Amino acid sequence: MDTKLLANLLYPNAKDVNYWLEKYPKRELKRGAEVTRLAPSPTGYLHTGHAYSALINKLTARKTGGIFYLRLEDTDQKRLIDNAGDIAYNMLVSYDLSPDEGYRGDELPQVGNYGDYIQSKRLGIYQSFAKYLVEKGKAFPCFCKKTEGLEDVEERRQKQLEETGEIEEHDPCRNLTLDEIKEKLASGEEFALKLKSAGDPNKTIKIVDLIKGEREIRENAKDIVLMKSNGIPPYAFAHAVDDSLMGTTIVVRGEEWYPSLSAHLEVFKALGFKPPKYAHTPVICKLDENGNKRKLSKRKDPEADVRYFIEEGYPKIAVIEYLLNLLNSDFEIWRTNNPTLSYKEFPFSIEKIGSNNPMFDFVKLADISKNYISHLSADEVYRMLAEWANRYDVEFFKTLTENQDFSKAVLNIDRDTPKPRKDISKWSEVKHYYDYMFYGIKNYELDGIDKKKLKEVVRAYMEVYNAEDDKETWFARIKEMASTLGYATDNKAYKQSPENYKGNVADVCTYIRLALTGRKNSPDIYSIAKVLGAREIQRRFENVK
């Protein structure tokens, strides 16, 4: 068959590939520098899995002195969501994962010499490479209705391969003669372009995945779709062309792509491009109500959408550190040994990523976040909290900013100490956590509390309380009063014969705590009292008396 003629028939207007190869010369980078990219499809909001991949990409590029760029894979036009690309870019920026190059949202111009970075704007490029493959006899037009370039045909085949180990025969259209093709084109029939696979499914090829390690995979034998009948390439072809022209050296992507790897490698080979290194990341899972492992689902799990963490008020760095902890299990030890360093100093490595599915765990996220927040200064906490509240809780924002000094003093309670308290994990918790400071006491936690004793203690304490006391004196005064009222100040004695006492000093402190906060548990009561000030304390005591 005269493939050159066929190529001209199919793509009469496509430019020669050399035009693009000259336009996008090889990147000049120092040895070892890696070029990575995030290539989300704007068919949904940025998934937590994307943030996870972006972090790997960003850290790898930074560590090797390379480039991390953002490309929008918007070829699935039917499923596009308005602004999803813009949101994806802005999410990356807000998590300090900004790309060095590429698409930068709908407002800012793209940066870099390898654009356009939006696939739907690159159709001419794909056409050229499609034409090239036809010329080389490596691709053919397919006119079958059932394969009208639809990706789901591929999905069905892939499924079939996984389930039965068998692959459908090669596509019958690969045997059409030039005359038959001409006839179909003349009668206006649409075609999809397919790869004329040269693979043998009984053979295997060795690959090295940066996460999975060395593996043997079956050669591809499927005549996969390269261009749909609407002229748009599916992922397999588009990413092979783009990653080659854009000089990607490592493709980090979800492991759901791993089964199609051999097909992708064949596309690179047909194009004459060296494939990039691949790192297939295990998908983040969680345990469902029945204790079964399943993928994070955008439909069911709010934490699958990166915006959720911002809305809830988890500090961004805490989320990043949580993801790092999922990626490299030695991060936690490193963090303990280096409590004040930025996560950016952590010696991250793709090779250290485990191949098991990481489990999303809110308790762990909260722990990491509490630890992070506990090391912030009151000023920093105030700034981040106010920024969050300004967007998500306007009423609290007003309260918080009305009296900044008071707010900062509240946020400083148990903070400025060698062992700061670790109990705030997200900004949305603060209002409830300190409601007795900002809004007064709405109700008292009184179950199990002897109200008579509570009142007696509060009344007595009002008499001796002195706002000027330092912490030691304050506590000494409480002890003295406790003893006068018949409470044990010596724990041993109390344990031996509790019947001789009304309770112990801890009980007395609980009563004072209740009077000042309405709670049985709270941060350091001395600090709370200091922040409330003598008048307010008096008022709160009066309320109980």
251 binds ligand GLU (CB under 6 A): yes
Contact pick of 239, 316, 335, 426 for ligand GLU (by CB under 6 A): 239
- Residue 281 backbone phi and psi in degrees, to 5: -85, 135
Minimum distance, C-beta of residue 154 to ligand GLU, in the bound complex (Å): 15
Nearer to ligand GLU, 50 or 104 (CB): 50
Minimum distance, C-beta of residue 351 to ligand GLU, in the bound complex (Å): 19
Strand partners, 272: none
246 binds ligand GLU (CB under 6 A): no
How far apart are alpha carbons 79 and 120 in whole angstroms?
A: 13
Minimum distance, C-beta of residue 440 to ligand GLU, in the bound complex (Å): 50
- The SS3 assignment for 194 reads strand
64 binds ligand GLU (CB under 6 A): no
Minimum distance, C-beta of residue 75 to ligand GLU, in the bound complex (Å): 9
Q: Hey, what's the torsion of the CAs at 56, 58, 62, 63, to 10 degrees?
A: 0
40 binds ligand GLU (CB under 6 A): yes
Query: Site for ligand GLU (CB under 6 A): how many residues?
Result: 7
Minimum distance, C-beta of residue 62 to ligand GLU, in the bound complex (Å): 19
Nearer to ligand GLU, 234 or 523 (CB): 234
Nearer to ligand GLU, 251 or 437 (CB): 251
Contacts of 431 (CB under 8 A, 6+ apart): 389, 393, 396, 438
Nearer to ligand GLU, 11 or 278 (CB): 278
Burial class (CB in 10 A: 0-12, 13-18, 19+), 380: middle
* CA distances in angstroms from 262 to 137, 236, 278, 346, listed in the order given: 20, 10, 12, 34
92 binds ligand GLU (CB under 6 A): no
Please identify, among the stretches 37-45, 184-192, 200-208, 265-273, the one whose residues bind ligand GLU according to the rule CB under 6 A.
37-45
**511 close to 527: Cβ distance less than 8 angstroms:** no
- The SS3 assignment for 262 reads helix
* Residue whose C-alpha is closest to residue 335's, from 326, 320, 325: 325
253 binds ligand GLU (CB under 6 A): yes
Residue type, 15: K
261 binds ligand GLU (CB under 6 A): no
**38 close to 54: Cβ distance less than 8 angstroms:** yes
How far apart are alpha carbons 246 and 102 in whole angstroms?
A: 10
41 binds ligand GLU (CB under 6 A): yes
181 binds ligand GLU (CB under 6 A): no
- The SS3 assignment for 223 reads coil
Contacts of 196 (CB under 8 A, 6+ apart): 137, 138, 139, 140, 174, 223
Contact pick of 6, 35, 39, 70 for ligand GLU (by CB under 6 A): 39
389 binds ligand GLU (CB under 6 A): no
Minimum distance, C-beta of residue 43 to ligand GLU, in the bound complex (Å): 8
Nearer to ligand GLU, 243 or 507 (CB): 243
Minimum distance, C-beta of residue 352 to ligand GLU, in the bound complex (Å): 20
How far apart are alpha carbons 54 and 97 in whole angstroms?
A: 7
Binding pattern to ligand GLU, positions 429-468, x when CB under 6 A? ----------------------------------------
Please identify, among the stretches 36-44, 172-180, 265-273, 318-326, the one whose residues bind ligand GLU according to the rule CB under 6 A.
36-44
Number of residues written out for the chain: 545
73 binds ligand GLU (CB under 6 A): yes
Q: Under the rule (CB under 6 A), what is the footprint of ligand GLU?
A: 39-41, 73, 239, 251, 253
